[in-house]
Amino acid sequence: MAVAPVLTEGELDALRRFDTCMIANAVETFNVRLHNTGFTNASIHCMFEDAPPMVGYAATARLRSGQPPMVGSSFRDRGDFWNSILEIPAPRILVLEDKDNPPGRGAIVGDMHSAILKALGCIGYVTNGAVRELPSVRAIGIQLFAGSVAVSHAYAHIFDVGAAITVGGMEVRPGELLHGDRHGVLTIPREIAAKVPTVAAEIQRAEQDVIDFCRSSAFSVAKLGEVMKKRA
């Protein structure tokens, strides 16, 4: 199967104009997946809720932080991991599945790794594990989605670079297009991504018509049924 083309900057910007909830509504209309799939569950939290929506392509791997290495006192960063991120189209979002049970004993991404990610063209980080050093990361300009916040990196290390992973109930493959804001993160199938903003705008207008009617002096339950039929 051919891979859908990378979106233009204009197409990416069109997606950024909508919140994740409206993008999810639009994706549903294409019937490309079940409506209860493709997005993170309530275990994943947005660290910087006032930031605008982020849109980018996923670079994936797995991590552990709870156990020390067999030799030495710490794990070393992997050059192949950094290079694998650069193989993903920009803008990039690092997505790591924490395989510890429970996840989040240590946080691999703090201020130093956020600076590295920024230099690699990343705009965000998503994990079911932990993050740390939030004020510094915010100043660097990396958005964070995580299951928790931790004090230490503990024994955080990367493995399974480029794997298909699951974070917060959301399946993510390398190169997957992601959209995230204060509500969470979802994947957008690339074959429909360019069409999603137009549909989102139509849904938004229809919903606003219902909201305006409910706020008007003309509101009644009988008329509400008629307005809702028009929306459908």
CATH code of the domain containing 31? 3.50.30.40
The tally of domains found in the chain comes to 2
pLDDT at 66: 85
For 111-133, what is the mean pLDDT? 97
What digits encode the pLDDT tens for the residues 143-167? 999 999 999 999 999 999 999 999 9
Output phi, psi for 146, to 5 deg. Answer: -155, 165
pLDDT at 196: 98
3 has pLDDT over 60: no
Closest by CA position to 134, among listed 46, 43, 42: 46
Of the candidate ranges 68-77, 102-111, 176-185, 211-220, the one whose mean pLDDT is the lowest = 68-77
Closest by CA position to 51, among listed 185, 155, 167: 185
Asked if 45 and 155 sit in the same domain, the reply is yes
2 has pLDDT over 50: no
For 63-71, what is the mean pLDDT? 76
- Domain encompassing residue 178: 9-191
